[in-house]
Chain A
Amino acid sequence: MIGEFEYLMLSAASRLGEDAYGASIRQEIKHSTGRSCSIGALYTTLDRLEKKGMVKTWLGEPTPQRGGRAKRVVRVTAKGAKAASDFYAAVVSVSRGVSWEARQRTIR
């Protein structure tokens, strides 16, 4: 099963869709979790996910905001979506009935 950070990356990339690339995924994870992730963690995890066949990456077009530098575009594959879905189902299943689950439901 994938790890927590791999799940965060797959989720962020899936939500971003066509706009998923290094900087945007980093921004999305920071926005969602309140924690910033390092470039090192992001790229090494991307390599790991690509090796497992869960994402596909390629060089995108350079943009002026990036100083004319290319971006590493990310797409979640079907295998990646399944792995993320399995992780989510496992977390939901194991969290049923725990105290913080009830607390979260109350807060919502």
Chain B
Amino acid sequence: MKNRILWSLVTLAARALGPDERDCVRGDLEESGASASESLRAIFGLVMRRAGAACGDWSNWLRLAALIIPLSAILSIISRRTADWSAIYFWLYLNNWHLSFMNTAGFWSVLAESAWGISVGFLTLACFSWTGGFVLGNSPRRALRMNGFLFCCMLLLGALLIAPYYLHSRQAMLMQRFPPRPDGHPYHDNDAVFALTFYRTVFPLILQAIVVVLPTIWGMYRGRRFSGSHAFLNLMIWTAVATTVLVMLLEVPGLGLVIWTHAGPSAVNVLAHLVRGLRLLVYWPLVYLILSAIWHVRVQRLAPA
């Protein structure tokens, strides 16, 4: 029993290595007749040495500071904001449901509008995440697993600490800037929703896991397979990526207030028009995946039997 557990741990630890290296190392250990505990120690030692070598490489630190941390922070903030506003609608329909609503025409119209808004919001967030993963997927092969692991850790840190702190600070800044209600009470319009632990804490994590982490991993997988050999296609894709990252930055809550403070309301209008105009390009992953699937099917049909 103990041996079986140890061999399972060996298999799990070996997954931290690349597929070819995993094969070679497991084969060497089997050939030398190493026991389960010896194999586990050996593989763990190799993984730690690789991690140590990665720490000594300056390009990994640069990638961490310039790409992984900012991207994960921005995605966490946008994800948290999406979770917060969509939670209000989920609370309205799920926690306040009554059968009599179904007889009201207005209910169905508002439900359709809310469902559409939430779907578009989730799809936009998924496209942002997929794009982020695609960029990470173009890291050097050896750094890919480490980058993916660090990105997921930073996303969790973002969800638990960075995003709530950022949004709370922004709210406090808005409260200072705008006058309170005539009765002196501060604005807390959605207390009923966020008094529930599920909407305050659990729902943002679920959303982050499904709409951010999974698309990011998928994007990394496709980014790793992207060869970039066709110059025009390369240019189009990286232009779409750059535009998506720009829109992500512009979508960060609070940026409008900063621009309004420093550059005035006309600059905010220009910003809003810019985001509206560029928004369509954010959905480039859908076009890419559909065209890739069509190409793949076409190549399979034309391949000789």
A residues within 8 Å of B by Cβ? 22-23, 26-27, 38-41, 43-44, 59, 62-63, 65-67, 69-72
Contacts and interface: CB of A to CB of B under 8 A. Distances in A.
Nearest to A60: B24
A27 to B, nearest CB: 7
Contact of B53 (A44, A65, A67): A44
Interface in B1-52: 20-21, 23-32, 42-43, 45-50
Contacts, number: 67
A22 B50 CA distance: 17
A69 B45 contact: no
B33 to A, nearest CB: 10
Decide if the interface of chain A is mainly helix, strand, loop or mixed: helix
B49 A71 contact: no
B30 A27 contact: no
Interface residues of B, number: 21
Nearest to B142: A47
A39 B29 contact: yes
Interface of B: 20-21, 23-32, 42-43, 45-50, 53
6 contacts: A26-B32, A44-B50, A69-B23, A69-B27, A70-B27, A71-B24
Contacts of A66: 27-28, 30-31
Contact of A43 (B25, B26, B31, B32): B25
